[in-house]
Amino acid sequence: MGQFQMVTVLNGIVAASLAAGCGGATQEQEPSSGGTQSAGGSNGGSTPEGGRSAGGSSVGGALGAGGIVVSAGGALGAGGAVINTGGASSHGGTVGAGGTVGAGGTVGAGGALARGGNGAGGTMTVDPTCADGVALLTEALNPKEAADYIGVYLYSVPNGAMLHQSHGTACSGAVAAEACQRALASALAQTSGFPPIGADTLPYAPARAFSFVIVTHGERVTTIVDEAGLRTFLGPIDTPNEAALRLFLAAYSPRCASLTETADGYGTAYMTMALGCSIMQMPAQYYVRVNRDATLFSSVTLQTTPCVGRRPQGLHTRQQQGLNALGIYFAEVAQLEAAAVVAFEVMTRELESLHAPECLSLAARQARADEIRHAAQFTNLARCHGLEPTAPRVEPVGERSVLEMALENATEGVVRETWGALAAAWQASQALDVNARSVLQATAADEARHAELSRDVDAWLHSLLTADERQQVQHAKRQAITVLRAELAASETDPSVVAAAGVPTRARSLDLLTRLERELL
């Protein structure tokens, strides 16, 4: 696909979304108490939304003090908390379904429940069983069937599967121990699992690609990679540690502090400084509830605007100070465009070091020049509204492997750069500010060319990767779409910015992303 074909496809998506109406494919509604939506946001973008209050409402315990409460069915990709790396916990014994809790003993039905006093409205506080300040994810559970071993694993690139916590001894109840060990080795080669969509997700943080659970019963080895598998193993979520396990699998750090238990499940609140998509360092509060059926309900209280485009590794953004929402928005975009200059500098250098086709290096140099121009144009727009953009800080990046280059290009280029091109095309058709509309029309064409460059680089790097590495790149693309959808579902843009700069609303953004994924991603 060439640049002009890309422009045609993107404009076609914009036209189709406009024809679909105000909300597109995304319907705003109150989420059901069952919380049946997948936490991974794999519903293709039709994310039910609800619990919205501009005056400060409370959704399941999350106080929206003067902000916007956005319910996103659990699909919230965000940054701020630190992944709990308490190491593996191995306490021996058997994970049973009807015993007591103790080192070397069995984990009985319900495990240890530390219950506090009754709260208003039929709630109570409960504490997960912990050791050294770390919530135990494989103890104090109430499984439907006795097990010899439970292990929680994190998969990351390039480390592969690593044990995080465990209880019991794998294959200890097996008569044919060798067969069980072979099945266990096969299970450790897992290529999918629970995506990290929670408050521990940060761009380029040394975090998991996905997580999974392995359970052994005699010779039988079971790998749990989704909510259905967790329900089959645990049944209803009815202990605080089962809730802690589910939170961890979604990359929300489970705490030893009290959870709030209601008829629907177990809830807790998190504070973070910013969503992964926003470059505005604004406090945000998350309320996350683990429903009885192992699904998640999440809400976030904040006001922010979505970001787009290619972010370089080592990027540190700086808060834009001001009272004019439109000026802040243009200053944010100017900062991102300046960061993209560095991203294309790195791309050019790395392509040349690999002796890539000259057309790719030339296109990367042209993209850098485009981003310099974009940064200057959006800086001027910000100044027109009384804001002077602050420059981003980007730490130098050392030599990277071909796989590392391909993973970054898949995430920041193939997915986010293409989304940026589509968002710019939408804004170019909708912005009411004459000056902004003129800049956005030129920017949209440039960003379409950058998106095509990302796809071309992806195809060329593909030829340099092994089969396993190619699979990792494909997974990175899928995960980037999941995180982007979560960011868009949790964003809320000032109405003046929507009107003047044409920024798509949350519902419109989700509809556009759904159509983009169907057409190109």
pLDDT value, residue 431: 93
Residue 292 placed within a domain: no
pLDDT value, residue 198: 59
DSSP characters over 441-459: HHHHHHHHHHHHHHHHHHH
Mean pLDDT of successive 10-residue stretches along the chain, which has 521 residues: 76 90 42 34 33 31 27 30 30 33 33 37 80 91 94 86 94 94 93 73 50 95 95 95 92 78 85 42 62 80 51 70 78 89 93 96 95 94 88 81 91 90 93 93 93 95 93 88 82 83 90 90 73
Tally of domains within the chain: 2
Query: Which tokens belong to 436?
Result: 């902004």
Residue 273 placed within a domain: no
pLDDT value, residue 310: 82
- A 10 A CB-CB count for 222 gives 17
Residue 101 placed within a domain: no
Amino acid at the residue 178: E
Residue 20 placed within a domain: no
Cα separation, 401 vs 383, in Å, equals 40
Looking at the fold, whether 49 and 194 belong to one and the same domain comes out as no
Residue 500 placed within a domain: yes
Cα separation, 25 vs 445, in Å, equals 26
Strands 265-272 and 114-119 turn out to be unpaired
Q: Which of 243, 266, 289 is the last residue of a domain?
A: 266
Structural domain boundaries, residue 340: 3-11+42-80+305-519
Nearest to 12 by CA among 413, 433, 448: 448
Looking at the fold, whether 260 and 379 belong to one and the same domain comes out as no
Q: Which of 248, 266, 284 is the last residue of a domain?
A: 266
Looking at the fold, whether 127 and 229 belong to one and the same domain comes out as yes
Q: Which of 239, 266, 293 is the last residue of a domain?
A: 266
In the chain, what is the straight-line distance between the N-terminal and C-terminal CA atoms, in Å? Answer: 13
Cα separation, 167 vs 216, in Å, equals 11
Cα separation, 143 vs 101, in Å, equals 13
pLDDT value, residue 42: 35
Residue 364 placed within a domain: yes
Residue located via tokens 């003090």: 65
pLDDT value, residue 385: 87
Nearest to 141 by CA among 103, 105, 113, 162: 113
Where are the strands (E) in 157-264, listed by range? 160-168, 210-217, 220-224, 259-261
Amino acid at the residue 420: G
pLDDT value, residue 352: 95
Number of H helices, E strands in the chain: 12, 19
Cα separation, 127 vs 145, in Å, equals 24
Q: Rounded to 5 degrees, what angle do the CA atoms 360, 364, 368 make?
A: 170
Amino acid at the residue 391: A
Nearest to 389 by CA among 402, 376, 372, 370: 376
Looking at the fold, whether 327 and 469 belong to one and the same domain comes out as yes
pLDDT value, residue 256: 80
- Structural contact between residues 521 and 477, judged by C-beta atoms closer than 8 angstroms: yes
Residue 297 placed within a domain: no
Question: Can you say whether residue 415 is alpha, beta or left, with left for phi > 0 and alpha for psi between -120 and 50 degrees?
Answer: alpha
Q: What are phi and psi of 76, to 5 degrees?
A: -120, 110
Looking at the fold, whether 51 and 119 belong to one and the same domain comes out as no
pLDDT value, residue 119: 39
Residue 383 placed within a domain: yes
Looking at the fold, whether 252 and 362 belong to one and the same domain comes out as no
